[in-house]
Chain A
Amino acid sequence: DAGVIQSPRHEVTEMGQEVTLRCKPISGHNSLFWYRQTMMRGLELLIYFNNNVPIDDSGMPEDRFSAKMPNASFSTLKIQPSEPRDSAVYFCASRLGLKDSNQPQHFGDGTRLSIL
């Protein structure tokens, strides 16, 4: 079975450029999560969607970050303009259900982002 698919796996770009990270959740999962992981802050939840609708985006660090989920099989996280402090590994995860606490999250392999 295909897991959560993220692209690209690695991204290196110069500050000020627009960065778009992509995620394809597991088919049938109706919750999707974007995380950021750094040594300093650990794993931070940025935003999550339920049935393609953003439920809580309070973890998004600032207006330069935006996320969309136009359909059940695709989501993007965009940073515009990017800054060196945005360098991190970004993970996407999906889950069946939202309030069903018996279901675990399934993670992609992450996108390692480096802003020069």
Chain B
Amino acid sequence: GDSVTQMEGPVTLSEEAFLTINCTYTATGYPSLFWYVQYPGEGLQLLLKATKADDKGSNKGFEATYRKETTSFHLEKGSVQVSDSAVYFCAPPLEYGNKLVFGAGTILRVKS
């Protein structure tokens, strides 16, 4: 079945550093892909999405490009802030019978 592999954390960066969190997927088709963010004490929020191959999703300075040739959807941000400290989840769509909805999540810690 379809699955997603996400970079293990925690990732610790200094403020204004460049961020990359890797995510690769296997899928029989070309599904939409999503990145969610979970801030401490809160539920998951949609960060960005890409609905087809070569599509780029962006929000709050974060970007991810749906790369068909490498089956990847890496999350990037040029300059992280302390407020970006959170857990980030790469997610494939939920399909009937597919119990894997989210990867393990990557903890990001940004130090000032």
| Interface residue ranges, A against B (CB under 8 Å) | 4, 33, 42-43, 45, 48, 55-56, 58-59, 91, 93, 95, 98-99, 101-110
Contact = CB atoms under 8 A, between A and B. Distances in A.
B104 A107 contact: no
Nearest to B44: A107
A58 B98 CA distance: 11
A101 B93 contact: yes
B105 A43 contact: yes
15 contacts: A4-B43, A33-B94, A42-B104, A42-B105, A43-B44, A43-B89, A45-B99, A56-B99, A58-B99, A95-B94, A101-B32, A102-B49, A104-B34, A104-B36, A105-B46
Contacts of B104: 42
B26 interface: no
Contacts of B99: 45, 56, 58-59
Interface of B: 31-32, 34, 36, 42-46, 49, 51, 89, 93-97, 99, 101-102, 104-105
A88 to B, nearest CB: 13
A8 to B, nearest CB: 15
A102 B32 contact: yes
Contacts of A43: 44, 89, 101-102, 105
A105 B42 CA distance: 15
A104 B46 contact: yes
Contacts of B89: 43
A109 B43 contact: yes
Contacts of A56: 96-97, 99
A107 B94 contact: no
A91 B96 contact: no
Nearest to A4: B43
B105 A48 contact: no
Given A45-B101, A56-B99, 17 more contacts: A4-B43, A33-B101, A42-B102, A42-B105, A56-B97, A58-B99, A59-B99, A93-B43, A99-B95, A101-B31, A101-B95, A102-B51, A104-B49, A107-B43, A107-B45, A109-B43, A110-B42
